[in-house]
Amino acid sequence: MGSWRFFEKQTVCKIVVVFGVVFSPLSAFAALSIEAETLMRFYERDTLFEKDQEVLALYEYFQLDSGELDSDGFSVHGYGWGRSDLIDNGVFDKSETGELLYGYVQYKSSQRGYEASIGRQQVFTGIRTESLDGISLSGGIGAALKVEIYGGIPQSVETVNGRSGDSIYGGRLGYTLLSLYGLGVSYAKAENDSEIADESYGVDISLSIPLSITTAGYSIYNMETDDWKEHSYEAKLPLGSSGISLNPVYKTFNFDDYFDNDETTASPFRFLVGEDEKLTITGADIDLVFWELFDLALTYKHYDYDKLDETSDYYSARGVYNLMKNSQLGLEAGVMNGEQDENKYGLVRADLYLAGDIGFLSADFIYVSYKEKINDEDKSIFGSLSVGSSFMDDMLEVKLSGDASSDPYFDSDVRGLLSLTYTFEK
């Protein structure tokens, strides 16, 4: 433990030194923005040794930007977090931890149509988002083509067997015709300990046709399993000038092909791997707007599990009433009809947000009634309340919130949060 903490301290020191060296010359002529958020979380958790363990954790999030992402020239961007368990009763594996989520230098030239970034960053290539320590390049070829490439080492919260032999690279070639049509082809390959963890390619498309009709989606193919991972497509169909739109959706997931071969990759759905399961989701939303005062959304979703030979249907209606500027009241009711006990329930929800000169207040309440009992419970209840205000010409924002819930899996869960956000811009 001592050597690990020494490593963490050395890493943090290196990060501070690097950012200090880089920002010193840039801050003299570039816009500088600093945001620090301090969170104090309180809740209870069951451990292997004791129930209802109290947790009091201090989180610190720090973001620093020198220069604008959309501006030409050099800019530097960094964001990280740290946590300290103030009680240290064994709920967390480590009482103190943290991570640099991103930290990179970017150069952009709008006139020449290209940009480059180096460092820890997130790269979006049309069909997926990659987090890596490396470099990314993008540029236009003429007015219609755009090329994006990236490469480096995959970023992860925990490293397994070191980072030797780990790599990730890929890219996207996109074609755009004005604002009417867009088509992209992407490829990505990741290796863990010199073994292929994921190799896939995909296509993404967007289309805008007369009458303000739009559609967009993507498909991803797993080259390791020779089958499709995922299809996801949706559209928006305005119905005249009435303020009504129909939004159909179609999605499929092949779980055996959806996850890569890296057994260290964390996912709450990894247990579905090997089940040869395929989930298809179809449905639509109908959005109605009445004089910008009231919004109504009607939703229908059909869930079809191929291997389980099971289907579920979800119906809901949600209305939002705009009370005043930046304030609204929402009401929602929904029903899920399925074959499993977890998929037979009715849901009601009410949420409120009020904003004024002195601050804001938000509240949320959710009640779920199950048709059949689960763990001898037939309902779930969740409630939350938050208040906040800004000070020092909006440089400091203070939020206080709390929530409580009870469901078939937890008798009671109570949590509290105090947040202080400080923003500085030059």
| In the chain, where the domains are located | 1-103, 112-292, 309-417
Which residue shows structure tokens 């009091």? 56
How far does CA 15 lie from the centroid of its chain?
25
Per-residue tokens: 16: 């501070």
Start-to-end C-alpha separation, the chain = 41
pLDDT on residue 49:
62
Q: Residue 267: pLDDT above 50?
A: no
Alpha-carbon span 366 to 393, nearest angstrom: 35
For 193-243, where are the E strands, in sequence order?
Answer: 195-209, 213-222, 227-238
CB atoms within 10 A of CB 215: 15
Please provide the size of the chain in residues.
426
Higher pLDDT residue, 98 or 178?
98
Structural contact between residues 335 and 316, judged by C-beta atoms closer than 8 angstroms: yes
Per-residue tokens: 162: 């070191």
Per-residue tokens: 103: 């930290």
pLDDT on residue 12:
40
pLDDT on residue 163:
67
153-162, 328-337, 372-381, 391-400: which range is least confident on average? 153-162
Alpha-carbon span 119 to 133, nearest angstrom: 5
| pLDDT (tens digit per residue) in 85-112 | 998 777 787 889 999 999 999 999 987 7
Structural contact between residues 314 and 301, judged by C-beta atoms closer than 8 angstroms: yes
Alpha-carbon span 293 to 20, nearest angstrom: 49
Structural contact between residues 146 and 138, judged by C-beta atoms closer than 8 angstroms: yes
Torsion of CA 19, 24, 27, 30, to 10 degrees: -80
pLDDT on residue 59:
96
pLDDT on residue 62:
96
pLDDT on residue 54:
84
For 306-357, where are the E strands, in sequence order?
Answer: 310-324, 327-337, 344-355
The stretch 142-164 carries a mean pLDDT of 78
| pLDDT (tens digit per residue) in 15-60 | 444 544 444 455 454 688 999 999 999 987 765 566 777 889 999 9
